[in-house]
Structure 1
Amino acid sequence: MLGGGCFWCLDAVYRKTKGVTEVVSGYTGGQTKNPFYEAVCSGTTGHAEVVAVTFDEEVIPEDVILEMFFLSHDPTTLNRQGYDVGTQYRSAMFYADGQQREVFEAAIARAQESWNDPIVTEVVPLGEFHPAEEYHQDFYAKHPEQGYCQVIINPKLAKARKYYAQWLAA
């Protein structure tokens, strides 16, 4: 469960990644029961926009999935990604168990070598996951002409292609 700003961006990158079998955009990390998009966007629920990524480790290593996470957003900015500002856009990794926590912390240590500023990504226990509304699922594929997709997501996809071409589907 990964949060790196607006879930549309991570969703778009991971859906094009070989070995990824499922991506679900949603919300976690907050205190509100049954959060919905407008409430999460208000910043009052405590939830982060996240993606639940399921993948086949025989096709793509977990390390590559996590490297792509750090490539696909700026993990050094607190509670913001570009024009998206608020705790709902925080950089966060939500772990299911102690082993996953260790994997996430090791990934941060490796990623820090690529960033001049300190990484501020939270590593916190996974709470209840709430899938986002259907219109958020696979948003980029449904609306590639939309302004946000053109200006924000397309450059992230181009960057992923540049560094991870062997892991991306054509």
Structure 2
Amino acid sequence: MTASNLERITLAGGCFWCLEAVYERVRGVHQVENGYSNGQAANPNYEQVCSGHTGHAEVVRIDFDPAVVSLRELLEVFFTIHDPTTLNRQGADAGTQYRSGIYWHGEAQRQLAAEVLGEANEHHAGRVVTELLPETNYHPAEAYHQHYYARNPEQGYCAFVVAGKVDKFLASFKRLVK
């Protein structure tokens, strides 16, 4: 990170294109990077992650200014734009790489994320399967995955899946839109 006032959180909630498209629209978010995290293989690529053999999740690494947008707000968006009750699945996307996860960077983040996760679990009658772990073995996704929705809004998956998540965010969190 370049600015000392920024924090970082890493989130997994299905396809990283969906999360990236939403978080790029959140005020206070300075950078969103698609990548792979919390698996075993060193330097995995997309095909390896999609095979399910690396153990990695598709994630977004979010650098944000907590003076503008709080971690709690980012997590509220997270629990609104994906289904945290489906194990290793978001819609038609299935596999461990599409799991729900919050990968923290420091004890204060872990504590707050555990609190928000507990609230989400209560809201969903104890069915939340989101994992809460430190970020480990992170690797950025290939360049063609970065800013994917912004560059390909008419592509089928983007038009039918990603756009719906963006619309849900825009309707639910007007106060957070850039």
TM range (shorter): over 0.9
Q: TM-score, normalised by structure 1?
A: 0.95
Q: Hey, what does 1:19 align to over in structure 2?
A: 28
The answer to which of 108-117 and 158-167 deviates more is 108-117
Out of 71, 74, 78, the position equivalent to 1:65 is 74
- The match for 1:109 is 118
Give the aligned partner of residue 175 of structure 2.
166
Give the corresponding residue for 1:33.
Answer: 42
Residue matched to 2:98: 89
Structure 2: segments with no counterpart, 5+ residues: 1-9
SS at match of 1:46: coil
Paired letter, 1:155: G
2-side partners of 1:89 and 1:114: how far apart? 22
1:126 is the counterpart of 2:135:
yes
| Percent of matched pairs sharing the same residue | 49
Unaligned runs of 5+ in 1: none
Cα displacement string for residues 98-157 of structure 1 (whole angstroms, at most 9, x for unaligned residues): 222111111112223432451100011211210000010010000000000111011111
Match of 1:9 among 15, 18, 38: 18
SS in 1 for 2:31: strand
The two structures, once aligned, show a CA RMSD in angstroms of 1.1
Count of residue correspondences:
169
* Distance in structure 1 (CA, Å) of the matches to 2:159 and 2:135: 32
Give the match for residue 7 of structure 2.
none
CA distance in 2, matches of 1:125, 1:62: 15
Query: 1:138-153 maps to which residues of 2 (within 5 A)?
Result: 138-153=147-162
What whole-Å deviation, never above 9, does each CA across 1:49-92 have from its counterpart, x for those lacking one? Answer: 00000111111121111100111110000000011100000001
Counterpart AA for 2:168? K
Structure 1 range deviating more: 55-64 or 114-123: 114-123
